[in-house]
């Protein structure tokens, strides 16, 4: 009787151990590998928080240029919100090129060690040039120095 009980106990332990292994295995494979909120970031950090994203998009981009979200994010007619992850609106890639330029300017021209869009240490921001508009005013007070005129007529063909 004692022997039988001991054997049952052993079997129970084996079964319990197997169940634990299976449970851990399932938990391991079903847990998402990362906990990222956003799907299509090429410049901003993958693990950016909702608050930081909001401050950059609304507080910096939209405000610096005097625009709404759907200036850069495609919005289907009748949809409540733009499709933020989509790259269908070409302005989004222009904005990415501007972000890259701003990061580079801060790093190479203003010696910001680790430039990050949205960081208060940034010297040059979207606002530096845009000042609330989509097309910065680059020409108003600059006197014209070079006036190249129309291109010369094409040379006559050689015989």
Binding site for ligand HEC (CB under 6 A): 38-44, 53, 57-58, 61-62, 65, 67, 69, 71-73, 84-85, 91-92, 94-96, 98-99, 102, 124, 126, 128-130, 134-136, 138
Nearer to ligand HEC, 8 or 93 (CB): 93
Quote the least distance from Cβ 147 to ligand HEC, whole Å: 20
Nearer to ligand HEC, 30 or 138 (CB): 138
- CB distance 65 to 71 below 8 Å: yes
Quote the least distance from Cβ 38 to ligand HEC, whole Å: 3
CA atoms within 13 A on the CB side of 48: 21
Rounded to an integer, what distance in angstroms lies between the CA atom of residue 76 and that of residue 82? 7
Quote the least distance from Cβ 142 to ligand HEC, whole Å: 13
Rounded to an integer, what distance in angstroms lies between the CA atom of residue 138 and that of residue 21? 66
Rounded to an integer, what distance in angstroms lies between the CA atom of residue 136 and that of residue 130? 5
Nearer to ligand HEC, 6 or 137 (CB): 137
Nearer to ligand HEC, 22 or 76 (CB): 76
Alpha helices in the chain (DSSP H): 2-30, 50-54, 63-65, 90-104, 126-130
- 106 phi and psi, to 5 degrees? -65, -40
Quote the least distance from Cβ 28 to ligand HEC, whole Å: 26
Nearer to ligand HEC, 10 or 131 (CB): 131
């Amino acid at each position: 009787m004692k022997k039988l009980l001991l054997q049952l106990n052993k079997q129970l332990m084996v079964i319990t151990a197997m169940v634990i292994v299976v449970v851990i295995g399932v938990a391991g494979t079903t847990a998402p590998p990362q906990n990222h909120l956003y799907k299509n970031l090429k410049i901003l950090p993958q693990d950016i928080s909702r608050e930081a994203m909001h401050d950059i998009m609304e507080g910096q981009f939209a405000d610096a240029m005097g625009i709404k979200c759907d200036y850069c994010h495609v919005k289907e007619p009748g949809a409540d919100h733009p499709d933020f992850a989509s790259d269908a609106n070409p302005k989004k890639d222009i904005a990415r090129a501007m972000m890259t330029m701003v990061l580079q300017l801060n790093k190479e021209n203003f010696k910001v060690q680790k430039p990050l869009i949205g960081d208060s240490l940034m010297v040059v921001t979207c606002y530096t040039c845009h000042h609330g508009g989509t097309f910065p005013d680059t020409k108003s007070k600059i006197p014209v120095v070079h006036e190249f005129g129309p291109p010369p007529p094409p040379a006559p063909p050689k015989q």
